[in-house]
Amino acid sequence: MVNQYNLSEGALQTIMKGGEYTAPIMQVLGIKKINSGSADKERYRMLLSDGKNTISFAMLTTQLKDAVGSGGIPIFTIIKINRFITSVINNSGKGDTRVLLILDMQILVSGEEVGEKIGSPTTLSDAVINEQPSNGSNTSTSVAKPAQNGVAVAPSSSTANSSSTNGASLAGQLTHPISSLSPYHNKWVIKARVLNKSAIRTWSNSRGEGKLFSVDLVDESGEIRLTAFRDQVDKFYDYIQIDKVYYISKCQLKPANKQFSNLKNDYEMTMTPDTIIQECFESDNSAIPQTKYDFVNIDKIANMEPGVLIDVIGVVKNVGDLQTFQAKTTGRELKKKEAVLVDQSNTAINLTLWGAEAESFDGTNHPVVLIKGARLTEFGGGKNISTVSSSLMKTNPDIPECYRLRHWYDNGGSHSDATNLSARSGSGSLSTTWMSFSEVQDQGLGKAERGDYYQVMGTILLMRSENLMYKACPTEDCNKKVIDLENGMYRCEKCNREFPNFKYRLLASMNVGDWSGNQWISMFSSEVEKVLGMTAQAVGETVEQDPEALTTITDKANFKQFVMKCRVKMETYNDESRLKTVCIKVEDINY
């Protein structure tokens, strides 16, 4: 019969022997869904014809699921295959089988319209597929040979192509798609691009100690994480570089712990002493995906939820010094550096970098910085972004967005007065609005989650002397009241420790009036000290000597006038909710 649909006769033989063929047209003679465990990994296996031959190992990859639709492709449909790769898969111990992986295709004629098998194609046998090519081109059927002496092909300082030193080059091998990797196959070579490389991290716990780093790998079929421990860290850390393409073989596969990775793969890999990694020097690796960025304009971050990971690009408007401090909970020494990023939305946000990244970051001269996978955080009502271990940061990256931002900033952007999303609604003097006590009441302030902030010109009408001071935990930054054990020791329940000493703290309750009314307010130690003109320690020692002196001290506060920045917030105590007002800052009145 006439092949009126112009199938690409002979294409399968060429392709399955490793040759090139542009956009072949094929007919689907059968299709079935392969149950691979999880719904998002479902694949289709097809019986495919080019009019002359058929193969039964044609696979539709996961990402084409949407193009195929829930019902699959009807039999007799004619398709054009826009992108494909071939691969060798270990077929459950029955030997290697060559498969055709379809990466991109389109339907040309529906199966219903075609209605029949075209031509009389015959099965393309493994014998034909596997026969040695006469020209010795890149159609080798074997996967990587082990490196000599089981030694991985490590980077060599003297040779660009390390394979030249031990004869186990993986270049030119038929490679396997990342999506085909599983713990049940160990003979494979992938060709993948490194999208991200972590810093080297050490750990020490009850099961031992060591160091590790990991990389995120991608090819046309999917992505996977590869982690190196101990010796492999030394061997490969410097060799592997972000954005480069490598042949990789002989890693150990195991189920991925989804809790700690957002890569789309059910498995992850670990390097072994046999692992081979060689940079791929082929001139055109453009088919292997590059990092994709989904940049969020900074102004849009205002409406996003804390905790999400986002891609941000901005110009460093200014940068702070490296800061070192102790983590309160773990006691670990932390290093951080903050930079303010701004973009064309004329909005800025603070970026926090940690550890080695903070130490090495040079934010001078206003570089453009991009962060893929920055974590959005919230503090004091302001939004911030922070790098986490999975984040990818680049300075002055060679991408169009970078040049656009550079141009914008250098042509006026730097002079614009950007809104900073990181501004805290709490104590910053600019963001607090003037209100009277009656306005606060009339407008029903205090219902917001984080409370509402305002400032008043207030006069202290009465400062209570009762419970003005207490004995607090001597630990810096812990102001918890201690329990006097009556044996010379003081116990802090928060620190779960006993101390031979304590520090005095003040916690004042006072009635404050303004022109519109009055309000009971709490005030913490630092501000009470300003009001009284005495340190908490001095108050404590004075009262130790003479308990009667307490009222003399508080009386001195009465009728003093200050600018008071206040927070009003609904608090629940013993099932009872009521509005509580705290004066977080007192300032002398600037006439």
Applying CB under 7 A, the residues found at the interface with DNA are 201, 203, 205, 207-208, 210, 212, 214, 227, 229-230, 254, 257, 260-261, 268, 270, 323, 325, 327-330, 332, 334, 336, 352, 354-355, 375, 377, 379, 384, 386, 388-390, 477
Compute the least distance from the CB of residue 265 to DNA, in Å: 12
Compute the least distance from the CB of residue 430 to DNA, in Å: 17
**Spatial distance between the Cα atoms of 335 and 324, rounded to a whole number of angstroms:** 5
**Spatial distance between the Cα atoms of 17 and 69, rounded to a whole number of angstroms:** 30
Contact 285, 244 (CB under 8 A): no
Minimum CB distance to DNA smaller for 270 or for 441: 270
Minimum CB distance to DNA smaller for 145 or for 201: 201
**Spatial distance between the Cα atoms of 110 and 127, rounded to a whole number of angstroms:** 33
Secondary element (H or E) of residue 299: helix 298-301
Compute the least distance from the CB of residue 479 to DNA, in Å: 12
Residues paired with 335 in a beta bridge: 324
Minimum CB distance to DNA smaller for 107 or for 242: 242
DSSP annotation of 295: B
In sequence order, which residues have a C-beta less than 8 Å from that of residue 196 and are 6 or more positions away?
215, 216, 242, 291, 372, 390, 392
Secondary element (H or E) of residue 359: helix 355-360
Contact 374, 339 (CB under 8 A): no
In sequence order, which residues have a C-beta less than 8 Å from that of residue 164 and are 6 or more positions away?
none
Tokens found for residue 146: 């082990």
Minimum CB distance to DNA smaller for 139 or for 275: 275
Residue type at position 289: P
Minimum CB distance to DNA smaller for 169 or for 525: 525
Q: 191-205: buried (b, 16+ CB within 10 Å) or exposed (e) per residue? A: bbbbbbbbeeeeeee
| Percentages (nearest 5) of helix, strand, coil residues in the chain | 15, 40, 45
Minimum CB distance to DNA smaller for 215 or for 539: 215
Compute the least distance from the CB of residue 235 to DNA, in Å: 12
Minimum CB distance to DNA smaller for 325 or for 559: 325
- State how far Cα 157 lies from the chain centre: 33
Compute the least distance from the CB of residue 329 to DNA, in Å: 5
Tell me the three state secondary structure of residue 199. coil
Minimum CB distance to DNA smaller for 261 or for 551: 261
Compute the least distance from the CB of residue 569 to DNA, in Å: 18
Minimum CB distance to DNA smaller for 161 or for 261: 261
**Spatial distance between the Cα atoms of 246 and 376, rounded to a whole number of angstroms:** 33
Minimum CB distance to DNA smaller for 32 or for 254: 254
Compute the least distance from the CB of residue 354 to DNA, in Å: 4
Query: Phi then psi for 286, rounded to 5 degrees?
Result: -65, -20
Compute the least distance from the CB of residue 254 to DNA, in Å: 6
C-beta atoms surrounding 149 within 10 Å = 6
Minimum CB distance to DNA smaller for 140 or for 386: 386
Q: 57-88: buried (b, 16+ CB within 10 Å) or exposed (e) per residue? A: bbbbbbebbeebeeebbebbbbbebeebbbbb
Tell me the three state secondary structure of residue 41. helix
Compute the least distance from the CB of residue 203 to DNA, in Å: 4
Torsional sign, CA 344, 350, 351, 353: positive
Minimum CB distance to DNA smaller for 477 or for 546: 477
Tokens found for residue 314: 């901005």
Compute the least distance from the CB of residue 290 to DNA, in Å: 24
Compute the least distance from the CB of residue 336 to DNA, in Å: 5
Compute the least distance from the CB of residue 130 to DNA, in Å: 35
- Tokens 């020692």 -> residue: 541
Minimum CB distance to DNA smaller for 230 or for 407: 230
Compute the least distance from the CB of residue 128 to DNA, in Å: 42
CA 147 to each of CA 163, 170, 275, 278: distance values in angstroms, whole numbers, following the listed order: 9, 10, 9, 12
Contact 154, 235 (CB under 8 A): yes
Q: Are strands 503-514 and 347-354 parallel, antiparallel or unpaired?
A: unpaired
